[in-house]
Amino acid sequence: MAATVIDGKAFAARVRGQVATHVAALKADHGITPGLAVVLVGEDPASQVYVKSKGKMTLEVGMKSVEHKLDAGTAEADLLALIHQLNTDPEIHGILVQLPLPGHLDEDLVINSIDPAKDVDGFHISNVGLLGTGQDSMVPCTPLGCLMMLRDHHGSLSGMDAVVIGRSNIVGKPMAQLLLGDSCTVTIAHSRTKDLADVVRRADIVVAAVGRPQMVPGDWIKPGATVIDVGINRIDKPEGGTRLVGDVDYDSCAAVAGAITPVPGGVGPMTIACLLANTVTACCRANGLPAPEGLTV
């Protein structure tokens, strides 16, 4: 039977709709407008596209959007001073420093200078520690989006075997923590994993986040498994031009899987939707209000 296609584009639109509803209520009931500041250092073309899209969607859900675009050669002290200013600005509830940063800037130092309560990426070591110990935290946006789609599709994930391929701080590790939090039996596989095909074949849930185009073939997938493809890779088409593909070979995996996210239109749109959700969550917590149900873990 053909796999169910998990429509991340439609799901993300629903999440943004929920965010907009909460933003409207915060304004009407409390006179508060959630504010998100995005900091971009340098002119990386992909980052410029992301930042523009984040700003547009932030405004669309009724939030305040602030963008700081700094020269590629910005001194670390100047970036840290800007972050300090945003940390103390009461109208800013979320701060995102777009990665990667130019090589002369210490990414860990910069990320850890953000107030953890405003760290809507969930990358600050305090948030990493809170997530790992099952406490309220800011949860990284891409894994949060993946978890929302998995919960929506399966209801409970309890007892399922999950394999996360990739061990990045942004996706692989927090994804594994979230799946563990939902009582999955979790394996984190990576480039040194032995017999990767056999490891993946055991999984009821496969999350592929390696950044290698079409690396997972259909014969690695257990029949009926759910495949979440985090990869966004641009490849050349044989007839000329390029197209986007994920980390899994979509056609062969979709023939075996029970459910699968497409690329584009799967995980990608959920990331910005979850960034907006995290900003509302941060704003609520900053004002002593409960975080909206369904928009966080």
Catalytic annotation, pick one of 54, 118, 173, 222? 54
Work out which of 25, 99, 180, 255 binds ligand GUN, going by CB under 6 A: 99
Residues that contact ligand GUN, how many (by CB under 6 A)? 8
For residue 7, report the phi and psi dihedrals to the nearest 5 degrees: -85, 95
Orientation angle between helical segments 267-286 and 141-154, nearest 10 degrees: 110
The verdict on 96 binding ligand GUN (CB under 6 A) reads yes
Min CB(120)–ligand GUN separation in Å: 9
- Is 241 within any annotated ligand binding site? no
Binding segment for ligand GUN among 17-25, 90-98, 190-198, 214-222 (CB under 6 A)? 90-98
Binding segment for ligand GUN among 17-25, 77-85, 97-105, 247-255 (CB under 6 A)? 97-105
The verdict on 121 binding ligand GUN (CB under 6 A) reads yes
SS3 state of residue 183: coil
Return the residues of window 256-285 that contact ligand GUN according to CB under 6 A: 271
Of 289, 296, 287, the C-alpha closest to 90 is 287
- Is 232 within any annotated ligand binding site? yes
Catalytic annotation, pick one of 121, 204, 229, 249? 121
- Is 266 within any annotated ligand binding site? no
The Cα 10–Cα 250 span in angstroms is: 19
- Is 166 within any annotated ligand binding site? yes
Q: Which C-beta is closer to ligand GUN: that of 50 or that of 193?
A: 50
Give the count of alpha carbons within 13 A of 228, CB side only.
34
Contacts of 244 (CB under 8 A, 6+ apart): 232, 233, 234, 235, 263, 264
The residues with which 205 forms a beta bridge, in sequence order, are: 162, 226
Using the structure block, give the residue that is written with the tokens 């490849």.
235
The verdict on 98 binding ligand GUN (CB under 6 A) reads yes
Return the residues of window 151-170 that contact ligand GUN according to CB under 6 A: 170
Is there a catalytic annotation at residue 121? yes
Min CB(170)–ligand GUN separation in Å: 6
Dihedral over Cα of 25, 28, 30, 34: its sign: positive
Give the count of alpha carbons within 13 A of 230, CB side only.
23
Using the structure block, give the residue that is written with the tokens 């963008």.
67
The verdict on 97 binding ligand GUN (CB under 6 A) reads yes
Is there a catalytic annotation at residue 214? no
Known binding-site positions for NADP(+): 166-168, 232
Enzyme catalytic residues: 54, 98, 121
- Interface with ligand GUN (CB under 6 A): 96-99, 121, 141, 170, 271
